[in-house]
Chain A
């Protein structure tokens, strides 16, 4: 531990020395008498000074939590030295995104030789992400507080705070399905449950598919054609080039929460889900199914952050297997960076089934007090409206999601738009 003196210590020493000199110069004992308690305090503190030997360990009740949940952190401080510590202050150092629920941030009391003190704190996980929990500041002092020893212990325990997913009841239906069985009703005809059409019987059709009423009406055997249930490939495209942050959240928070919810819901429907983090650092996860893929996706989302980069990046940097053909691409972006806009327009141009969920940055931006500021803001808004029109014209489904609004109705609005979008594309 690092020793440090209280400002009192030099003050008392100077006072004592000055009084001693005064006693000599004046030839009187009173100045020396006045100095006596101060010099005794200094001498006593220095004579009893021993560097404390403290060991710190941590315990955490769990290492994974959802946003808004609480974890319990126990800090165990043991005095390994032969002497008691007169006063020991323990202050918890929490990283951003975590906060203490209640109780004083600093706790002070004595610690006997060989004794262990346990400080239990409840910590609220305010924001998603991987965090390191467990740093403490220790301040030990003697009985009079004249000498202090400080130490910062930064050994920490990792906590993974998962984003609180958005409540979703319906999803965007993909235009194309894959070969595996799933919950998406395919547009093709085959073995399935959903009724598609009535057609004439051909050799090989199952007898139970015969529609007897239609056959009686038409005078020839008719069978029911069905839509098979298939799965789909869904690629979540996260824009990590830029973002806007407000007091209560930002576009990146919105993107991560939406991606977590979409991944969970699509994987629950037996779809294959992949992830592309398109930004200063390109990160991807090939589409996959099942619970393991969900954990992979959420773990990848926790490490998502905005990385500043000036390098121009296009679709060519994305590995082809990450974007399978006939996959549904759901882009979550504030559409603030030209590189992302260009990449998404490129995807549209290549005939990909694209849904752009625009994480509206407008609520986070103050138009400014002056008339020129407001004019600039209106021009910027008009440019964005033109960009949205380009997406729609190219056949992409453009959805606008504002901060504080639930995602479910936004996705629900996609169904009529996608019918229109496909017609426009054709």
Chain B
């Protein structure tokens, strides 16, 4: 499909995407280091985690609250395997001192297997029951990490970013490497999801989402599709987990607890649960607010308690969340899509008055 055949929306979006890509590629050279190493890396990695949630929701009809848990499990596995103890080493965890590359591969594979097992258990559930099962996974992960102090404890494991593979090098001395790894991973994950949903598996997964009974009657293995989708989402969450462990240096049960689980869901909802791009848009919006709404934020007329809502990030994010859910249930991506909606109606007729964002496109 050449640019001349793109719709107006596609033209605008792809131009913005190309511009955004250029901006983020050159940012470490010309932009603020804080933005590069804090705001944007966090956006990339939490966007990856949120994309796993949106993938399951948009193409599998499954809203999973387990993605944060899987993300944290990867970090804890990596931390236990790769770090070393002794004087000057990390103070918590098994610190087995594996080769970091081996630890990295093992952590991702193990998390994917855990995801497949979890997906198999939850695959016959839908709707609120699926949500509850995956919430249970999240709670199990939080308390397992908190209570099993040999592998984590409430303090978690620190110093993970000192044990990166040799082919990556020292990301502490060269933080731009982590930036580009996170950016590259985000692009690959985006492309992977776009590819998968166009494969026969992806198409039948969308069939499972829309008409599970009919798909089952046609001979498709509905639970298997859901399990594999959950496994793929676990793999994607694992990639985000590795990036987080390297970025923060520390992974603790607090990273996978209920507030963090809800935070990831909020990122996905703010971005929009119907389009993969929404993952990074939502993550960017959330992380911007998280970093700039503090106890020192002063906004005229909204100075409750002296600062903006007393500097309460949770209050403000709650209000924004509420507004988005009411105004645009499809999040910021849905809002964006509405700009083009009337034109589509006027030129293509009312019969194609499709939702603002179409997952299959």
Is chain B found bound to chain A in the same assembly? no
Residue positions of A touching B, CB distance < 8 A? none
